[in-house]
Structure 1
Amino acid sequence: MKGIYLVTDQKACLGKPLGSVVLDAVKAGVSCVQLREKTSSTRLFLNKALDLKSILEPAKIPLIINDRVDIALAVKAAGVHLGQSDMPYEHARRLLGPGAVIGLSVEIWEDVQKAQDLDVDYLGVSPVFATPTKTDTKTPWGLGGLEKIRAYSCHPLVAIGGLDASNIKETIKAGADSIAVVSAICSAEDSFDATRQLVSLFEKNHIPQERRS
């Protein structure tokens, strides 16, 4: 899991259709898209997931469903992203199978320690910086916290929370394998150009983990 990881937020799209924002991001080189719908009904969530899958599948970009294992199963998504209060990893893996992508949010150090023995595909370090798009999280990790997790964890790290073009370089240097953004793409005046800038910054600054000193 590496690259620019788009996490959707319909409200952050400022009136633009979610599908058009995602399509722009796909054309500009985003590596993964997570559909996050905290308040939608199951049917609306399902319909949005099907719409996004029709955009992402031809481009071979994985669709990750936030929280809802049932939605992931229904649309045959690439996988799910789980929070600490969602379905436990072991149950999600049993339902989704060995080939599914399963990411897990870590908000406190105990979460990181418990995840070490889990065969998750990545850890979502949440939040790195304070962000208005996620108000139910713990104290931000900061770059020092991200560095500490990188030194300890065996898993790829997806950084999320307050990330944009101004802080991608330092976040990658601190150990992020992937940069997850919400408003930096969803709220951008031109989501294609915004994504392209983020992708360019990532490619310029990312060093494979095995080459890090």
Structure 2
Amino acid sequence: MPKVDYRLNAIVDFDAIGPDRDLGQLALAAARGGATIIQYRDKNSPTRDMVQRAREIHAAIKATGVPLLVNDRVDVALAAGVEGIHVGREDMAVADVRRLLGTNAIIGLTVKNEADAQAAIDGDIDYACIGGLFETPTKENLQPIGFEGFKLLAAVIRKAKPQLPIGAIAGIGLERTPLAIEAGADGVAVISAIFRQADPQAAAQALREAVDQALNVREPQAVQA
């Protein structure tokens, strides 16, 4: 049984959302709408501010049972006491992250190419997220891989780790969500499709329903209650 439910990863990106909105309340709205993971991403803030924001988001969603992951920053994840971390090729090695955070932590890994796919196979991770699939307003993707690229990388990982949850990221909205699941994703990671909408909770609910419906079409017994 996978440690993590990856159906809907709502990424609270401080740089994309801005300083004038309550990140904790946004995360709570996403969790109430059906997000199964909340990820806090912040590329430019001072470390102390990041720790404080991570603590505030964590406190806001604690009662929902949805885990909070911090993007990149193992020190922030440790200081804030969150459930896990998401790392990429330029971040701390997975083996070091696992040693620091322990066996119970959730560790996710970004996969952009075949070398990353091999790292996902070799590493002690709990999910892989493949992308970016398409252009996105929140992060520059120099070489979007599309659904065909996703399928190729997912197949490499699944051959070795058939039970590892695999997500799709970048340019995924409500219309593309069923296509991502059809391509083999177990869920989607989004920013704009939730947090740039007028009603983030309703947006999360619509995405979660789309994921569940698509999973039921692909594998009728796969969707959890």
For the pair 1:143 / 2:144, whether they are aligned, the reply is no
Tell me, which stretches of 5 or more residues in structure 1 are unaligned?
none
Instruction: Write the distance in 1 (CA, Å) between the matches of 2:150 and 2:219.
Output: 14
Q: State how many pairs are aligned.
A: 211
User: The residue matched to 1:84 in structure 2 has which SS?
Assistant: coil
Instruction: Write the distance in 2 (CA, Å) between the matches of 1:129 and 1:29.
Output: 24
Instruction: Write the distance in 2 (CA, Å) between the matches of 1:184 and 1:148.
Output: 25
Distance 1:209 1:93, change over 3 A: farther
Q: Deviations over 1:118-162 (max 9, x none)?
A: 121111112011212122x45112111111122221232111100
The answer to which of 149-158 and 92-101 deviates more is 149-158
User: The residue matched to 1:43 in structure 2 has which SS?
Assistant: helix
Identity %, equivalent residues: 34
For normalisation by structure 2, the TM-score amounts to 0.88
Q: Match of 2:72? A: 67
For the pair 1:36 / 2:45, whether they are aligned, the reply is no
Q: Match of 1:113? A: 118
User: The residue matched to 1:64 in structure 2 has which SS?
Assistant: strand
**Shift, 1:20, TM fit:** 2.2
Q: Match of 1:175? A: 184
**Shift, 1:102, TM fit:** 0.5
CA RMSD in angstroms, aligned pairs only: 1.9
Instruction: Write the distance in 2 (CA, Å) between the matches of 1:21 and 1:9.
Output: 11
**Shift, 1:114, TM fit:** 2.8
Contact 1:105–1:124 under 8 Å retained in 2 = yes
Runs of 4+ displaced beyond 4 Å: 207-212
For normalisation by structure 1, the TM-score amounts to 0.92
User: The residue matched to 1:22 in structure 2 has which SS?
Assistant: helix
Q: Match of 1:94? A: 99
Q: Match of 2:62? A: 57
For the pair 1:8 / 2:17, whether they are aligned, the reply is no
Q: Give, as a single letter, the amino acid of the residue that structure 1 aligns with 2:202.
A: D
Contact 2:40–2:70 under 8 Å retained in 1 = yes
Instruction: Write the distance in 2 (CA, Å) between the matches of 1:50 and 1:56.
Output: 10
**Shift, 1:13, TM fit:** 3.3
User: The residue matched to 1:21 in structure 2 has which SS?
Assistant: helix
Q: Deviations over 1:149-186 (max 9, x none)?
A: 22221232111100110100010010111210001111
**Shift, 1:209, TM fit:** 6.8
User: The residue matched to 2:122 in structure 1 has which SS?
Assistant: coil
Distance 1:210 1:123, change over 3 A: farther
Instruction: Write the distance in 1 (CA, Å) between the matches of 2:152 and 2:219.
Output: 15
Contact 2:151–2:183 under 8 Å retained in 1 = yes
**Shift, 1:210, TM fit:** 10
From 180, 204, 210, give the equivalent of 2:213: 204
Q: Give, as a single letter, the amino acid of the residue that structure 2 aligns with 1:4.
A: L
Distance 1:125 1:209, change over 3 A: farther
Tell me, which stretches of 5 or more residues in structure 2 are unaligned?
none
